Amino acid sequence: MESLSNVKNPELVRFGHYFLSMINDLKRRPEDVAKELDVPLEEIMDIIEGRKTITENIVNRAKKIWPVSSRDFYLIEDDCPDGIKIMRSADSKKSARIMNRGGKPYYEYRDTAVSSVGLFRPEWIEELCIVDNNEPNNKSIHWNKGHFMHQFTYFIGDVNYYYLGSNGEKKVAVMNTGDSVYGTPFRPHTFATRKGAKKNGLILALTYGNQLSGDTQQELSVLGKDLAINFWLDFSNRTKAFGELLKFHMACSSLTFDELSKRTKIEKNDLITFSHGSEIPSYDIIKNLAKGLNVNSRDLLPPDIIEDKVIVRYYKDAPKWYFPESDSSYKITELSHSTTLPFSKAFEFEIIKNDNNELDLNVGLHQYIYNVGDKKIKLNWKIQNTEKYDYLEPGDSAYIKPNLPHNFRGDGKLMVLRIAGRIPGDAQRELSYLDNHDVNRAIEETTMWFDPKEKQK
């Protein structure tokens, strides 16, 4: 048996790999780090090998010498090492707090399952404001100003959803159990219970970050308005979007219309027309332009459609199907979503099977689960070759890590929201360009970028 003194903290080991990757990128050997930071080499090796935490003094010295920030020395904490984190309904109730608007109780908020690993910020909200009509200008309601995060909303009961349409017009959607909405960041909205409801309406307001969150938001902030605003491209329609993308990539390569015309054999006047957002060329021409710009065709393609900022989906109109094909364990209802966020997907799962143990779900997205039914559901999963299970009672919620084999068994309904986090999309493509044997080093760097013990040939 290994002695306790030799057992390493997994989080320290993870930081050690990360720190080694950082100094590799800075082209520093451990002895260089020790000398520059005036720290014994033994201490640097203890940090790299996961035996010791890095001190604030070392971080402060590194910031003064290297092109790094404090943020670079703090890892995402893993608060669910078993792959799943559950919040019980009773614990959710303990977090209840009343929010007033207009001097009166308006919402009751409760926390639900959240993890430091995912970008979810989910809330259970009871609508305490009662409205007696469905007019968008109802005097009883109080609008918010919108917020930075995307929001998926699942409705339970008789709830009115008030929002601003694309033209700034106030609108109201009359929602019932199972209906859902997706809203873009900063879109003003509010909710209220309709008069005559048997009990106050509820929503699961699942706000979450996407590619703009975290480091991206920090980078925009440090650049400031004058510089960062130029990353915004006009995507108000497809032709403008194509023109904006073409101009952006031309500027990034300092290419003139004359040079791009020379490379692509496309008339200069046609290139100018494309850049003005007046026309989208054929895909063959787009491929030719991409080659001339040294980018992929996908980098020039505008969105297939320009969607509304708010997308309402009524349960009765939602697509429904069974999964998996081999053994229909679930009846799935597709809830509201946006094509602008291709990795954000929301569903209602009706559990049908409970007589087999096959782990029939494995999703490369972060997942939020809420038991919206009135019966408990068994959740089975496997991590590090160990099989585990737990139960989700009505009102319980859970977070599930990506790529975790799992299933749901029993007789009930779950609301499921899947989001990308930081990896799917461009980061996933970048990872996939690496050779298979190099991927592990991208995940956990365990070696220096050269062999200092290599003998001269």
Task: Note the pTM of the prediction, 2 decimals.
Answer: 0.90
Q: Provide the Cα torsion 452, 454, 456, 457; round to 10°.
A: -150
Per the CB < 8 A criterion, the answer to whether 173 and 312 are in contact is: yes
β-pairing verdict for 189-194 and 130-131: parallel
User: Residue 166 and residue 384: Cα distance in Å, rounded?
Assistant: 48
- Residues 118-136 as b or e (16 or more Cβ within 10 Å = b): bbbbbbbbbbbbebeeeeb
β-pairing verdict for 330-334 and 345-351: antiparallel
State the first-to-last Cα distance of the chain, in angstroms, to the nearest integer. 43
- Determine the 3-state secondary structure of 367 from DSSP: strand
User: Residue 190 and residue 205: Cα distance in Å, rounded?
Assistant: 11
**Per-residue pLDDT in tens (0 to 9) along the chain, 457 residues:** 333 345 578 889 999 999 999 999 999 999 999 999 999 999 999 999 999 999 999 999 999 999 999 989 988 889 999 999 999 999 999 999 999 999 999 999 999 999 999 989 999 999 999 999 999 999 999 999 998 899 999 999 999 999 998 888 999 999 999 999 999 999 999 999 999 999 999 999 999 988 888 888 888 888 999 998 999 999 999 999 999 999 999 999 999 999 999 999 999 999 999 999 999 999 999 999 999 999 999 999 999 999 999 999 999 999 999 999 888 999 999 999 999 999 999 999 999 987 788 999 999 999 999 999 999 999 999 999 999 999 999 999 999 999 999 999 999 999 999 999 888 888 888 889 899 889 988 888 888 888 887 776 6
Question: What residues form DSSP beta bridges with 152?
Answer: 182, 206
**344 exposure class (CB count in 10 Å sphere: 0-12, 13-18, 19+):** buried
- Domains of the chain and any CATH numbers: 4-73 (1.10.260.40), 236-299 (1.10.260.40), 312-419 (2.60.120.10)
Per the CB < 8 A criterion, the answer to whether 80 and 399 are in contact is: yes
User: Residue 130 and residue 159: Cα distance in Å, rounded?
Assistant: 9
- pLDDT, residue 7, reads 55
